[in-house]
Structure 1
Amino acid sequence: MDIKHRLATLLFPVLGTVVAAPAMAQLAASQRCTVQSGPQTAALVELYSSEGCSSCPPADQRLNALRKEAGAASLVVPLALHVTYWDQIGWADPLAQAQFDARQAELLRHQPRHVAYTPQFFVGGTELRGWDTQLPAAIRRINATAATVNIGLSATPGPGGKLLLEANASAPDAQTNGQLYVAISESAIVSKVLRGENRGATLQHDAAVRLWLGPVALAQGRAQLRREVKLPASWRPEQLQVVAFVQRSDSSAILQAVSTASCAKGVL
């Protein structure tokens, strides 16, 4: 082998790495999803549900169609939180988490009625019992309110199925009290229920919460949550969304919410 061939053998792998690095950085930047809340308040819609509850599938379907029903101009951030207290009657909901039971109980502390049930809707932190007819109007009412908090949210994919989440909340009034939360939800989840009240049913879930982070309290009107998450292999990145919202510290009122729904290919 002559000297030119030997130099080529030695240099090409090194040069290839040097050339590829900016390309990889550009690829990662192109996959990064970044969103910013606007001047109006988005409506955070929380549905407390369970696969063991026979009256829940219609509410699940309503949540699944919510963005389309509310209209393109609406600002709506849906979340389905599956509770565990139905698991004891024959079907363990694979999406249920005990912390969602606690979240529902926390919201109810600030409501006129302190009764937990499913399906139960909260819009902007307030229970909405007439959800079958009143959801669009409740969303419009919240959207018509100027936001008191700004939220920036980003999801950046990393190696090995990791996802870096960054949420920043800021309020023009440094005295604003609130707590920042971040959640990852997954849509188009299909589940075949084998036992319990929904035995034999095939259910589809959208915006089902997989991961719940926070709260981080606002200090001087600001809060930041930064977390690297290893996504389980069973989660489909193209169906994932990240949500961030700020709730008042002394009530259940949601001051602002934002999601990565505008990112075309999920979070990866």
Structure 2
Amino acid sequence: MKLRSSPIAVVELFTSQGCSSCPPADALLARLGAREDLIVLAYHVDYWNYVGWEDTFASPANTELQRAYAQSWGKSRVYTPQMVINGAHGLPGTHEAEVRALLGQSSLPITIDLVVSENDGEVITASAEPHATGKNAIIWLVTYRAAATVDIERGENGGRALSYSYIVTGRQPIGMWSGETGMEITIPCDEVLGTENDGAVILIQEKNGELPGAVLGAAAFEEM
């Protein structure tokens, strides 16, 4: 099991197979994913599906998350490709220099430690020390596929074979973060990953009312 702890940032890309501007951002996400100090995730949205091609990875939940971010920041529209850094900053996913500059200034206040044990199958224990966060936060578990290539038959990218990485397949809350007591959660890897997923990310993310706020901490594990 490959573990990734103590990242400086979580990069979330909102993308679509039907968007002709998205392939450069998809490629940038793959390059960023090779960095040990970053955790990256690709959320495929469904609002491009009407343009002749239905994204094979799209989910209404991904679109809902992007719109929730926009609402949290007081914005009225969403677009692709968009990169979100640590839940707090959104910018075009094709603006590589701006993305890298923002990452150069990024950090996460909470460190999540991962320990693997093999009693009755692989189990991950995720823990974090108490921290004065000042706000309530949700612990999220996000599963993903490491990579896939898709032959796009129609739409703006019709006729192209496009590669994707860190493709989100699910996102669910698994607990609440307390700054006073910290966190310790045990995750059964086989049950979480199943046969379709290659890895998972644990996020500690603030709430902005009922909307997503800043990411405070993150860690990831992936099958080798």
TM-score when normalising by structure 1: 0.69
What's the offset of the Cα at 1:267?
Answer: 1.7
What's the offset of the Cα at 1:127?
Answer: 0.7
Q: Which moved more, 1:149-158 or 1:109-118?
A: 149-158
* Equivalent residues, number: 216
Output the CA distance in 2 between the equivalents of 1:131 and 1:245. 25
Q: Which moved more, 1:205-214 or 1:164-173?
A: 164-173
1:56 aligns with 2:22: yes
Output the CA distance in 2 between the equivalents of 1:168 and 1:116. 34
Question: Compared with structure 1, are the counterparts of its residues 200 and 35 closer, same or farther at alpha carbon in structure 2 (3 Å cutoff)?
Answer: closer
Output the CA distance in 1 between the equivalents of 2:133 and 2:148. 41
Q: Percent identity at matched positions?
A: 25
Structure 1, unmatched stretches of 5+, are 1-31, 261-265
Output the CA distance in 2 between the equivalents of 1:218 and 1:67. 26
Output the CA distance in 2 between the equivalents of 1:244 and 1:88. 33
Tell whether the 8 Å contact from 1:155 to 1:165 is kept in structure 2 after alignment.
Answer: yes
Match of 1:142 among 106, 110, 121: 106
What's the offset of the Cα at 1:132?
Answer: 2.8
Alignment match, 1:79: 41
- Which AA in structure 1 matches 2:95? W
Tell whether the 8 Å contact from 1:174 to 1:221 is kept in structure 2 after alignment.
Answer: no
Output the CA distance in 2 between the equivalents of 1:94 and 1:163. 30
Alignment match, 2:223: 267
Alignment match, 1:9: none
Match of 2:90 among 121, 127, 131: 127
Q: Please state which structure has a larger fraction of its residues in helix.
A: 1
Matches within 5 A, 1:8-19: none
Q: Which moved more, 1:251-260 or 1:150-159?
A: 150-159
1:249 aligns with 2:211: no
Structure 2, unmatched stretches of 5+, are none
Matches within 5 A, 1:22-101: 36-37=5-6, 42-68=8-34, 75-101=37-63
SS in 2 for 1:194: coil
Tell whether the 8 Å contact from 1:166 to 1:225 is kept in structure 2 after alignment.
Answer: yes
Q: Which has the higher contact order (CA 8 A, sep 6+)?
A: 2
TM-score when normalising by structure 2: 0.81
Tell whether the 8 Å contact from 2:139 to 2:174 is kept in structure 1 after alignment.
Answer: yes
- Which AA in structure 1 matches 2:110? V
1:201 aligns with 2:156: no
Output the CA distance in 2 between the equivalents of 1:163 and 1:90. 43
Tell whether the 8 Å contact from 1:46 to 1:78 is kept in structure 2 after alignment.
Answer: yes
What's the offset of the Cα at 1:177?
Answer: 2.3
Runs of 4+ that moved beyond 6 A: 155-159
CA RMSD of aligned residues (A): 2.9
- Which AA in structure 1 matches 2:206? R
Output the CA distance in 1 between the equivalents of 2:110 and 2:129. 6
Output the CA distance in 2 between the equivalents of 1:195 and 1:108. 29
